[in-house]
Amino acid sequence: MIEFWQCNYQKILKSLIEHVEIVMITLIFALLLAVLLTIIAMYSRRAGEMFIQIFSLIYTIPSLAMFALLIPLTGLGRITAILVLTIYSQYLLLRNFITGLYEVEPAVVEAAVGLGMNPLQVLGRVRLPLAKRSLFTGIKLAVVSTISIATIAALINAGGLGDILFDGLRTLNVYKIVSGSILSAGLAFAVNGVLGVVEKRI
């Protein structure tokens, strides 16, 4: 195993970096979209519930099928992968963002409005801090699921740790399979830990 890593560390490192890149770019787009949709949901409860419904429906489509479906539209490669991953993570992000913000106790919000906070102050000083846990839960779940689904994106030439994994499967190389698995699991674990620390600091 160690020998395998010594010989292939460059390829492994490259895959790991690719993987992190895909996840990071996905996360940036996914968060931007989620924040936008959440703000809309703050003004209209019906819109919020509709978003969750739609994305939960999409979430049930197997990711491999989704990649395949999009190939005729956006071709092989990273763009398709990032698109699919962004859409998938919306369900996890929105479900937690929107319900978290809705579930802040109505009396607390009424008091805030009654004391003379404008809508932005109610959001920033009351709703967001009280929904912090849900917000972070959403982000953590989305990151972990993106890291794991991103391995499948290797099948459409998007690169990443999936390359090592699928190479291993094709050639029945146990070292590769184990390395790919350990790295993607380790990555998810590490990021989750980091976000946990960030949550406590804020």
Partner 1 sequence: MVQTAIEFQEICKKFVNTGYYAADHLSFQIMEGEFITILGSSGCGKTTLLKMINRLYEPDEGKIVLFGEDISTVDAVKVRRRIGYVIQQVGLFPHMTIAENIATVPKLLKWEKDKIKQRVTELMTLVGLEPEEFKGRYPGQLSGGQQQRVGLARALAIEPKIMLMDEPFGAVDAITRTLLQDQLLDLHKGLKRTFLLVTHDIHEAFKLGDRVMIMNEGQIIQFDRPEQIIREPGDEFVATLIQSVKAQERFWEGYR
Q: Which stretch binds partner 1 (CB under 8 A): 13-21, 117-125, 139-147, 169-177?
A: 117-125
The binder of partner 1 chosen from 34, 112, 147, 161 (CB under 8 A):
112
Query: Of the candidates 107, 172, 197, 202, which one interacts with partner 1 according to CB under 8 A?
Result: 107
Measured from the CB atom, the residue of 11 and 45 that comes closer to partner 1 is 45
87 binds partner 1 (CB under 8 A): no
> Which of 40/109 has CB closer to partner 1?
109
If the CB atoms of residues 40 and 113 are measured against partner 1, the closer one turns out to be 113
**Residue where the block lists tokens 């197997």:** 62
| By the rule CB under 8 A, 142 interacts with partner 1 | no
Interface with partner 1, residue 139, by CB under 8 A: no
Q: Which residues sit at the interface with partner 1, rule CB under 8 A?
A: 105, 107-118, 121, 125-126, 129-130
